Structure 1
């Protein structure tokens, strides 16, 4: 929202989810895990539930006038919205979701909240509104098999917002003006078929659209809403030119671009002359990610980038001073501003580290007070968590691969059992911070290796494109090289190495045990791709715009048939000789259940050991708390049986 480009469908990053559970946290008491058995001498097992329970409270926001705080909290094991006055400790639950967590919410005005929710993980999000006292709950887009997105919350208009829907045509998204007073919907922009995203200016006017023909991307612009859109930029999809927001006088754009360079930088761009202007920020090692700004003071305050950790570059002394003050208040923690009221006098502050999911605070600029709202997971004892250390190693063809290594607390980095954990996406990356999966595995005594293999985003154009048509090949070699690095360093016991991943990471898991069958002891595939032909045959309708791009990045089922057969694990199951555990959501719209069915059935026919867990009320990853518990309990049993030797 907030004048940034709203992508209405995933196109070139994160086509397959980058990791479903890195934000999940949990509760518990510190008793022995319910999975059975006890911890080895000198090792304290924290219950599975402590890592994967719903947060105590999370996603705090403040109303536009600063008088009320909203947040998410579990009710009947589902994350619901609660609201309280800023000066009160008593909260009112305003939603009653029982089957599925609410996906996200925001303040539509000072008295009304809006939220999104899908059904059983199908990702067809519907939009609901509810008063801050919990009254007048409405489903304002009750359309079957239609996906809703937010284009602009229209901060200066208390009665309307702009949304996108693929109601008219399931493959593309039109823009509608939603009126809260009578819940009327008026289409204000019809997608001609090539638009992949929409963006407004600071007055809420629809001024920018991004386009794709499958392999080329473009940006359209209009001076007013009465003018026709005209093309101001067209590039191949390998080049980045992404609008971030308009300048505060609505005359130019801030964009991220890697045109003529490797690492994306942030510039101004003049839509009339169609020329890049001032270089706002660049980083020598990684892509510039985004800008932070003050809507109230109408000034760009800083830029954000991610190297080993998140970094800021401030342009504004006031925002820099606030950051310095907050970091002084919370030494040793990462700290950032996650929300504010309209006039930016009240901020929601978020803290975290690799050892704690952190807490939320409310900061009042009037007296510089910083008051605790809630610890996200107060049952997590940071002193018992393991450190996530940034690492790097060389690939077999000389690339520098960045990643993270987590060594179990109290253990020496020597001859350890290891879980290799490639990320999803694959056009995404792993980040430093609290990761419940990693901490859970480390608590069980396993070192965890995460790597940003080639094609991971954030490291420049060349690194990203080196992974094109390299599924199961050079991308997989980067994973293998990480394992060999661990062995050469004496960190890994070569007889006790497992691989586990979700989504693309699930593919990498299957590829690992298929193409390097002697490297791993066992494997866990979570909603992973087994057959690249099936992947293309089952694309959601709103991914059709990106089909040709995916052909360029992965391979064309017709032109590259031999390649796709070569790198699809389903065609090479005879190579698999280690135990495999497969988990799948029945309603997954991204990696259909057919992928897991195919690999499981084929292995059973070959009498190869395989465990299979299917959750009928889940999609791309397990989001319901009880399903998370089941999955990680089963994973623990599986690793104890096959990795603890």
Structure 2
């Protein structure tokens, strides 16, 4: 079986082609502004009603968020709510043909992203009325009971509680709670609450099951990143659960657990990457799984499912992009799909199974055309100890070779990884002529348990060596000009950027750290990770003594740094408190290499809002241009 994205074009009879708006044969007329990449996208989500007669959507007009419901196919607005600049609809879930359940997201102090508020509202499209249903998260729609759904709420003692919610009156009845604090409850195919999982006080993962009226019974436990299985979705019968399972191999595959006889069956596994998603139809029945090796790939669990045939046909139409099915009518006749790729920010389309037509609905970033964007290519790199790591190289077609390179280090770092596809930061840098290298160093997620575990205790050591080896590979491959390389990251990525210029003072011309951790010795006494259940145990497991080694913290290595440094931090950062940036800045000052400084007292773990992001990336582009001799930008 070949696990890579096809490059050939195939035609499907009856399906029309959806072109990206504003594409021309002559390419872009001018440099796209920073805001085209870094502003909030113009469209956030589109959803079709179960009967196919309405479309719900969230959009932004001149920076103002709006929730709309339109008739279909006429597309006449019947609902149009103004949500302001700092709020958007996070989730849309049709409870009936005429009622939508929504939940907002807002910018909150300390966060650089829109945070789910947990508030639930129903919108009646016939009357226009909006009803608040309190706080919670949908758990099961109870399709045989049109007046109720199941929701999850967290109690004051941090237990997940399942409630039966009357969607007409807002009244709730508590049913049960999770087996442990900060745990989770899963509903079976009929809405039965028999499965719970979560992390205990020693940061060990546990799965517990019970039958009606019985106590919770431990059916599985494992240490963090140990061989494990986790329930992710109800199976085809009340006693079965789909699981992600890596106990018998290096990667996590899709399994099926039978709680009646406590047995497991492996359904599908990729030899090099973990399963990354499970796709379900209107009724919640799984029909496909997703893997992300070099490119995203979908494997069908039931090739005879109507969605499988539909998805296969459309994917052949867009061989250079990814097709994701988002939501459907109850008969699966109409499907809202999202088509995106490295050079396509994302188009919402409506797929009609009967007419075999694709109808464009909306574009996330219509200012950006394919010609303005650069291809992202996966690479495998052999590093110094003989292992193979994974990376992505994004290079503008007209870029110098060798030319200026920016090494982008992802945050996290454990369990997080870079993926193929449209990336706003990467494409902004590429639009200014930079090659961009994203490295999935060991310790990143998605490549199996051992790949993840190899990063434990290796902050500033093996994990940093992987980034260094990837950078040198880019030089040896003729991509990067050895005299014009910078390294840039946020959170852990900022730590890696500063460690990079400290450990390899002649490799990089500049380093940019955003919302960074620079002193591992204060990880257990500052930041919000330590306050999580098992947080201190987690920190000790991933650092494994690195916090006690001065040479693992860039704040202690400032005298080795020759490169120019830009530090950016927010005064409300709770994940990486301001003390990290203050110490790093003071150390560089004392070493005679004062850092450039961008500080915003109102920002948190990154930049929230269009204007702060434009300011931040204007500063980044100017700093990179001064350091590498590449072009900067002409406005936001």
Normalising to structure 1: TM-score of the pair?
0.85
* CA distances 1:348-370 after superposition (whole Å, capped 9, x unpaired): 01111211113111122232232
Tell me the CA shift for residue 150 of structure 1. 4.5
Between the aligned partners of 2:443 and 2:547, the Cα distance in structure 1 is 21
Which of 54, 57, 68 is 1:68 aligned to? 54
Contact preservation (8 Å) 1:108, 1:158? no
Q: Partner residue of 1:229?
A: 216
Q: Partner residue of 2:234?
A: 246
Q: Partner residue of 2:556?
A: 571
Q: Partner residue of 1:580?
A: 565
Q: 1:142-541 counterparts in 2 under 5 A?
A: 149-169=137-157, 173-191=160-178, 193-213=180-200, 214-224=202-212, 226-237=213-224, 238-277=226-265, 279-296=266-283, 300-314=286-300, 315-317=302-304, 318-412=306-400, 414-426=401-413, 427-537=415-525, 538-539=527-528
Q: 1:534-573 counterparts in 2 under 5 A?
A: 534-537=522-525, 538-539=527-528, 543-555=532-544, 561-563=547-549, 565-573=550-558
Contact preservation (8 Å) 2:22, 2:369? no
Tell me the CA shift for residue 186 of structure 1. 4.2
Q: 1:45-60 counterparts in 2 under 5 A?
A: 45-60=31-46
In the alignment of these two chains, the number of paired residues is: 594
Secondary structure, aligned partner of 1:361:
strand
Tell me the CA shift for residue 173 of structure 1. 4.0
Tell me the CA shift for residue 627 of structure 1. 1.8
Between the aligned partners of 1:284 and 1:351, the Cα distance in structure 2 is 27
Tell me the CA shift for residue 515 of structure 1. 2.5
TM-aligned CA distance change 1:329 to 1:124, over 3 Å? closer
Between the aligned partners of 2:50 and 2:572, the Cα distance in structure 1 is 37
Instruction: Compare 434-443 and 65-74 and name the one that shifted more.
Output: 65-74
Between the aligned partners of 1:540 and 1:552, the Cα distance in structure 2 is 13
Tell me the CA shift for residue 499 of structure 1. 0.6
Secondary structure, aligned partner of 1:421:
strand
- Structure 2, unmatched stretches of 5+, are 1-20, 631-636
Contact preservation (8 Å) 2:182, 2:533? no
| Residue 115 (structure 2) pairs with residue 126 (structure 1) | no
Tell me the CA shift for residue 473 of structure 1. 0.8
Contact preservation (8 Å) 1:409, 1:442? no
Between the aligned partners of 2:483 and 2:530, the Cα distance in structure 1 is 44
* CA distances 1:22-80 after superposition (whole Å, capped 9, x unpaired): xxxxx9999xxxxxxxxxxx995322122223323231112233322122211452444
TM-aligned CA distance change 1:455 to 1:609, over 3 Å? same
- Structure 1, unmatched stretches of 5+, are 1-26, 31-41, 143-147
Q: Partner residue of 2:4?
A: none
TM-aligned CA distance change 1:489 to 1:166, over 3 Å? same
Instruction: Compare 423-432 and 513-522 and name the one that shifted more.
Output: 513-522
Which of 606, 610, 620 is 2:605 aligned to? 620
Tell me the CA shift for residue 541 of structure 1. 7.5
Between the aligned partners of 1:316 and 1:482, the Cα distance in structure 2 is 39
Instruction: Compare 600-609 and 423-432 and name the one that shifted more.
Output: 600-609
Give RMSD over aligned pairs: 2.9
| Residue 105 (structure 2) pairs with residue 117 (structure 1) | yes
Contact preservation (8 Å) 2:282, 2:329? no
Contact preservation (8 Å) 1:421, 1:448? yes
Q: Partner residue of 1:19?
A: none
TM-aligned CA distance change 1:630 to 1:493, over 3 Å? same
Q: Partner residue of 2:84?
A: 98
TM-aligned CA distance change 1:219 to 1:90, over 3 Å? same
Between the aligned partners of 2:587 and 2:437, the Cα distance in structure 1 is 29
Secondary structure, aligned partner of 1:509:
helix
Normalising to structure 2: TM-score of the pair?
0.86
Higher relative contact order (CA 8 A, sep 6+): 1
Q: Partner residue of 2:5?
A: none
Between the aligned partners of 1:529 and 1:164, the Cα distance in structure 2 is 34
Bigger proportion of residues as strand: 2
Tell me the CA shift for residue 275 of structure 1. 2.3
Contact preservation (8 Å) 1:28, 1:47? no
Tell me the CA shift for residue 505 of structure 1. 1.4
